[in-house]
Amino acid sequence: MKQFPKPGILIFVLLLLAGHVFAQAGTDTTTTTRSDTATTTQLQQVSTKLDALIERINNTASAQKQQVGVISFSDTALVHLYTRDKKKTGRTILIERVSLLLKDGYAVEVQMFSGGRKFTNSSAPVTISTRRFAQTDFLVNVKDDKEYVKLQEVLSYDAFNSFYPDDSLIWLTHLHQADTLTKNVGVNSVLDLRLYTDALGTFGNTPNGIVQTDARFRQYLHRLNVKNTGLFLGQYLKLNFNASKFDKAQSYVDTSHFSRTALIQKAFINAEFAYNILNVWLEKKSVSIFYWDIGGGIGVTNLATVKDTSYVTTQNLYSEAGVNLRSSSNVGMDLYGRTTLQYSPQTSFHDQAGALWFFRLGGEVYWNPFGDQANRIFSRINYTFCTTNAEKKNQFFQFQFGYSVLLSKLIGG
């Protein structure tokens, strides 16, 4: 099996793309020099390497999934009944079939059926890992809370590696006693790549980016929930990267009409890092969650003075809370609110270098064909404003449409 390009290579490619946008943004203020020929040669060499990478990506179409383990149904599935205080009784029953709803590496809901009985996990998810299946989990009879069965007497899990499986619905019966769990290792599962066009920037006079490229990467740190709850603490890290292309007349902030809010609105490069404080089910065994992240980042904006144009970098600390709502496996909506503390040490004129508080409220809806998240369509709206009197008038909206895009197509474009 061919090895898929590592995330580091993909991030390197994104930095090259950012450099391309960065260079385009500064073409009005640079002059042609003798180094242009050498630069062109270097770019041609990089282009050749990118072409090789694209070819390698295209050649991995048959190796987009990696097996992570096998979950198995007991040959007989004849299990003991337990009391409410988890003591074994002398009675046994035959489990006929089992279903598991998997999300983010754990079973949100487990159901076992025996005649008219249905047993399920009452209040906590079950992690899909060898360690968890070596422990003891009890499922309760939904019609009689005095009857329990032990999950590990019915199911076993043999892991091939420590990766968590893709979201799916698993059914096991005596005719289908095992299922191989897989992890998608395609490029869009490593990096969530999206292209957006802003309706207010494209068709109106609002100085929003005409086109934006988003790249998002999430790394789970663990799959351990707080005991007997759907609460997870410090579960993941996130990296977000955004590059925007503006109309030439709207691509800079003028010092004669300077605004700290405009530094956010007209930033053509944004990069940020986030750490998850907590996330929890909105209701018991729900795939919709509430989350709270904290993080920091930088933004790069063109600043125009009377004499020339320069790049201004702002530093930001933020706290974001929101809900991820799922009405089905291919339709969802995300709502969030963000508080940002912005620092701008490079704009010290007129006392504009201090810290300012900004707030952003936003929402996003998406749709994709069943089983094909790489072809998602997005629509989102953001409202950003500052609390200081001088900046309140500079508040702005973004109304964007977008879609997921393959890395090879993005580079090729």
Cα–Cα nearest to 136, from 149, 148, 150: 150
What integer pLDDT is reported at residue 412 of this predicted model?
A: 52
Q: Could you tell me if 135 and 270 lie in one domain?
A: no
What integer pLDDT is reported at residue 163 of this predicted model?
A: 85
Q: Please state which of the ranges 151-155, 186-190, 392-396 shows the lowest mean pLDDT.
A: 186-190
| Percent of all residues in the chain with a pLDDT value above 70, rounded to a whole number | 81
In this structure, is residue 393 part of a structural domain? yes
In this structure, is residue 309 part of a structural domain? yes
Q: Please state which of the ranges 20-29, 65-74, 100-109 shows the lowest mean pLDDT.
A: 20-29
Q: Could you tell me if 160 and 106 lie in one domain?
A: yes
In this structure, is residue 40 part of a structural domain? no
Question: For residues 29 and 309, is the Cβ–Cβ distance under 8 A?
Answer: yes
Q: Could you tell me if 225 and 363 lie in one domain?
A: yes
Q: Could you tell me if 164 and 220 lie in one domain?
A: no
Q: Higher-confidence residue: 270 or 353?
A: 270
**What is the rounded CA–CA span in Å between residue 109 and residue 122?**
9
What integer pLDDT is reported at residue 207 of this predicted model?
A: 73
Q: Higher-confidence residue: 42 or 102?
A: 102
On the question of pLDDT at 408 being above 80, the answer is no
On the question of pLDDT at 153 being above 50, the answer is yes
pLDDT in tens, 42-89: 556 656 655 665 565 555 544 578 899 999 998 777 899 999 999 999
What integer pLDDT is reported at residue 231 of this predicted model?
A: 95
Identify the three-state secondary structure at position 276: strand
Cα radius of gyration (the chain): 26
What integer pLDDT is reported at residue 44 of this predicted model?
A: 64
Q: Could you tell me if 388 and 317 lie in one domain?
A: yes
What integer pLDDT is reported at residue 107 of this predicted model?
A: 93
Q: Could you tell me if 251 and 378 lie in one domain?
A: yes
Q: Could you tell me if 356 and 395 lie in one domain?
A: yes
Identify the three-state secondary structure at position 248: helix
On the question of pLDDT at 267 being above 50, the answer is yes
Question: For residues 362 and 341, is the Cβ–Cβ distance under 8 A?
Answer: no
Cα–Cα nearest to 180, from 154, 152, 155, 158: 158
> Which residue has tokens 């270097």?
42
In this structure, is residue 277 part of a structural domain? yes
- Residue 147: which domain range? 66-184
On the question of pLDDT at 413 being above 80, the answer is no
Q: What residue spans of 26-129 are helical by DSSP H?
A: 36-58
Q: Could you tell me if 216 and 79 lie in one domain?
A: no
- What letters, b where the CB count within 10 A reaches 16 and e where it falls short, cover 27-60? eeeeeeeeeeeeeeeeeeeeeeebeebbeebeeb
What integer pLDDT is reported at residue 411 of this predicted model?
A: 54
pLDDT in tens, 349-388: 877 778 999 999 999 999 988 777 777 899 999 999 998 9
**Which of residues 147, 166, 184 is at a domain's end?**
184
Confidence of residue 390 (pLDDT cuts 50, 70, 90): confident
Q: Could you tell me if 91 and 222 lie in one domain?
A: no
| Total number of domains constituting the chain | 2
Confidence of residue 25 (pLDDT cuts 50, 70, 90): very low
In this structure, is residue 291 part of a structural domain? yes
In this structure, is residue 25 part of a structural domain? no
**What is the rounded CA–CA span in Å between residue 296 and residue 317?**
4
Q: Could you tell me if 155 and 203 lie in one domain?
A: no
In this structure, is residue 176 part of a structural domain? yes
**Which of residues 184, 202, 233 is at a domain's end?**
184
**Which of residues 184, 216, 239 is at a domain's end?**
184
Q: Could you tell me if 177 and 211 lie in one domain?
A: no
| Percent of all residues in the chain with a pLDDT value above 90, rounded to a whole number | 50
What integer pLDDT is reported at residue 26 of this predicted model?
A: 46
Q: Higher-confidence residue: 21 or 86?
A: 86
Q: Could you tell me if 176 and 192 lie in one domain?
A: no
In this structure, is residue 42 part of a structural domain? no
What integer pLDDT is reported at residue 70 of this predicted model?
A: 95
User: What does the pLDDT average to over 249-266?
Assistant: 85
